[in-house]
Structure 1
């Protein structure tokens, strides 16, 4: 039975598939070419460059200028506010305690952007994320929930950053608690306490390490110094001291913040199926295996709840193979190297295009993205995705189901306007 989160009732309706089609072997065993390369690593480097040229949401950190004009810094800060840019009032938002965000709180968050202190020319500082942390639209630790009793969607949450992620730091909030930063995939405010600042030469080894591990499980905790755990999600890269193993373990470098400065801990990470030395081969079967490692995980808006939303989910799968797609679904759709528009097609033609897509392709509809697994034994195309909700219409009345999980489904589930997903999809995109 499916619990309808936030509605206090249950229903037998569910779009999730839980039979043998929910196992990686179902898909890999039926694909005789499943281990053939889509792209070599050299080709992936070219693909990544092509995507960076298509969207400003991806940043080549190494080539970013070392000084930035103050007007540009202000524009970056304002554009990172997204829907809050230019808004004079907070709207109906609630904090963790269920109290409405006051005008005073909102004014303080906007004022904390410290725009008046942006100099005419800003020298870039270099930082490395030392713990999984949030990147926010405004420099405040207050949550902005639009429902005081259903607190899973913080409207100030941009994304979550993994440890070892390099950052360009452009500005500091008025209270000194947040840094405005540019990452590989996103721009926003990060807690100062989660950043270790470094000289550029040391920072560069996190941007482009010579030897590194890729986290290949959906999430992995690394024990540091026997005293605390550091959480990584799939696709995170962890620099290595060398390519050689010692006693069945890799000698990894984990960043640590000490009085604001970057320090490092040497950590032995066991050689097992949760990590890989370098990126995984870009193959159909690896798209299947990697995507199914998240199956049944909770939906995590903007990386909340130590999990993934629809776009961070497919981004994690792709980056485990070295393909660095944008963070948000609309930017992912724009950045695809190969795109098939579904505009103007009828249902039959849409299904035909879906069936022709390569395994691992991304299916887009407004506000959502799904990863294609292939056709099942009945010829039905199926996808896996991290989905928040869908609608049914018993008796003609719309009923919203907050399913909030990573699941496999077909394309018949409906949105709030009773449009089946197959009819609402805008394009099918891939990088191969």
Structure 2
């Protein structure tokens, strides 16, 4: 589309949305193919330069610790696995399992577009083996040894709600990261899956992704100092044929990993001198599933810090833009993340441990949020949108967006999104497929031809 048509389109979007035309002039001529977004706006520095006091600390470390404690105490989606009793009842375990492992209520399709028969669903549910859960369950503590999927059922079968759309696997829930402490409370009938409860989520994960140890061993390692916090999107450890389980291991943003302090200076690590890298201490699993720790190298030129980043507006923008262009991955699929995984991983790099899913984030009793109901009219919602600040999270059903600033008074967001719809100047909508972490204006985004994103807004969360 010629550049001048972008400006005309954005003006038409505002004119076609009552109450918006007077809010601001159209943004500058664009060159990205996305109305209202210029190439310059794809740099974090462009946005940071426009934020007053961008480096001012919004929450210091004690305030973040207090926020995390509040979330653990008040938010039912968070799990205080450090203080579980030594024995759990079947009913307690079933509460966790029932939350994610219900029988599908709608038709599903496999990766070839074929309808999934009831017999296949029956087989999957049988492998969950919930009828085999005893009346008393002894929780087993362990750690994730790699990035591993969290699934709604004990299966790696990918299922979809549309035969032609294989992006969103409806059995995919979330992910574990190397070093995540978990409590295992159940095993599948085939023994290949375990039901793991982590601090932020509970679901099925591959059995071979978990190494088991004592409670003291698990949390001593999780709390060990010194450590590195991963601040890049998804760096990898150094390739090493000497330790295949630790070779090119993906380490996602916000992961906290202790350093190995047991080695002598200059002692080779996995066949390599360590002076150009950080020597991490990572969990490994032996043939019997037991937990131990081995050193692995993370190159010093890969983004990591000796502590969580300060929670500043500049860092919120900078960290969000590290994911710009990453492929959308429902439930942390495709080695990526989805909209709620994206915002929670950004804040996790600054020490904030948010709930995993959009619904839990939007309504969490542990977070400061403003809720919106059908009683809130269009004008009130637009006024709220105009008052948004950098780092604010805007929720509509099933989606969350992070505010990064304003252009000519118009709020802009960065979000992990399948696509956006915009008015084309008539009654029709123009659909743009994105399928990635993207920068867009907020106000022109439409849910359907009659309803904007702002009119669908359910909550604004402010991490303060």
Give the structure-1-normalised TM-score: 0.89
- The correspondence for 2:257, drawn from 227, 233, 238, is 238
Is the CA contact (8 Å cut-off) linking 1:166 and 1:206 kept in structure 2?
A: no
Gaps of 5+ in 1: 2-11
The 2-side partners of 1:341 and 1:169 are apart by 35
Partner in structure 2 of residue 217 of structure 1: 232
- The correspondence for 1:33, drawn from 53, 63, 66, is 53
Alignment of 1:238-257 (within 5 A): 238-242=257-261, 247-257=275-285
Partner in structure 1 of residue 169 of structure 2: 154
The 1-side partners of 2:103 and 2:112 are apart by 27
| 1:356–1:79 CA distance, 2 compared to 1 (3 A) | same
**Greater displacement, 178-187 / 347-356:** 347-356
| 1:13–1:229 CA distance, 2 compared to 1 (3 A) | closer
State whether structure 2 residue 339 is matched by structure 1 residue 319: no
Q: How far does the alpha carbon of each residue in 1:56-84 deviate from its partner, in whole angstroms, 9 at most, with x for none?
A: 11112212223211121123212222xxx
Alignment of 1:170-319 (within 5 A): 170-223=185-238, 225-226=240-241, 227=244, 228-242=247-261, 247-259=275-287, 260-272=289-301, 274-319=303-348
| 1:417–1:72 CA distance, 2 compared to 1 (3 A) | farther
| 1:372–1:342 CA distance, 2 compared to 1 (3 A) | same
The 2-side partners of 1:16 and 1:195 are apart by 46
Is the CA contact (8 Å cut-off) linking 2:416 and 2:437 kept in structure 1?
A: yes
- The Cα of 1:389 is off from its aligned counterpart by 2.6
The 2-side partners of 1:14 and 1:230 are apart by 35
Alignment of 1:337-376 (within 5 A): 337-343=367-373, 344-376=375-407
Of the two, which has the highest radius of gyration?
2
- The Cα of 1:183 is off from its aligned counterpart by 0.9
State whether structure 2 residue 435 is matched by structure 1 residue 404: yes
The 2-side partners of 1:75 and 1:379 are apart by 47
The 2-side partners of 1:386 and 1:289 are apart by 15
The 2-side partners of 1:142 and 1:365 are apart by 29
Q: How far does the alpha carbon of each residue in 1:229-279 deviate from its partner, in whole angstroms, 9 at most, with x for none?
A: 111221112122249996353221122222122232201323335111121
* Paired positions, count: 416
| 1:214–1:243 CA distance, 2 compared to 1 (3 A) | farther
Give the structure-2-normalised TM-score: 0.84
- The Cα of 1:18 is off from its aligned counterpart by 3.9
**Greater displacement, 254-263 / 292-301:** 254-263
The 2-side partners of 1:153 and 1:77 are apart by 21
Structure showing the higher strand proportion among its residues: 1
Alignment of 1:59-208 (within 5 A): 59-81=79-101, 85-87=102-104, 91-208=106-223
Is the CA contact (8 Å cut-off) linking 1:384 and 1:406 kept in structure 2?
A: yes
Is the CA contact (8 Å cut-off) linking 1:16 and 1:407 kept in structure 2?
A: no
Is the CA contact (8 Å cut-off) linking 2:421 and 2:429 kept in structure 1?
A: yes
State whether structure 2 residue 435 is matched by structure 1 residue 420: no
Is the CA contact (8 Å cut-off) linking 2:107 and 2:115 kept in structure 1?
A: yes
Is the CA contact (8 Å cut-off) linking 2:423 and 2:449 kept in structure 1?
A: no
Partner in structure 2 of residue 6 of structure 1: none
- The correspondence for 2:416, drawn from 386, 401, 424, is 386
Partner in structure 1 of residue 27 of structure 2: none
**Greater displacement, 324-333 / 14-23:** 14-23
The 1-side partners of 2:73 and 2:463 are apart by 14
- The Cα of 1:92 is off from its aligned counterpart by 2.6
The 1-side partners of 2:232 and 2:280 are apart by 17
Is the CA contact (8 Å cut-off) linking 1:196 and 1:261 kept in structure 2?
A: yes
Q: Could you say what secondary structure the match of 2:122 adopts?
A: helix
- The Cα of 1:403 is off from its aligned counterpart by 2.1
**Greater displacement, 324-333 / 31-40:** 31-40
The 2-side partners of 1:393 and 1:13 are apart by 15
